[in-house]
Structure 1
């Protein structure tokens, strides 16, 4: 595994753990949390965190692929 592959493995792990954490807390609050403004705010913020994490991951992957193509040229996947 090259250094770049290891770097993306760490990134993927962080993204997946963040999304799982957000999903678990949202599910917990939906199932067992009371109907309070605080819980509503927490769910909204965690939803935004999950969406921004996923958006940043996709944007970062696209940017990284574009930079690789700039230096290596369009040779297809290796």
Structure 2
């Protein structure tokens, strides 16, 4: 598992804005308040930029729609 690259725009320990680097596209973005809280609490989690997150979510939704629901396999 890869770590999140966090670059604070102010002094270390300051609660100011931060920039995060997406691990898929290497694009820097500013996370929303909920993501900032998650990053401070769990700094080793993987965070994606909103564009990559939406792209992956669309692919997952499409795959889920195409799969048949076989919850109880026979046998």
| TM-score, with structure 1 as normaliser | 0.32
| TM-score, with structure 2 as normaliser | 0.32
The structure richer in helix per residue is 1
The structure richer in strand per residue is 2
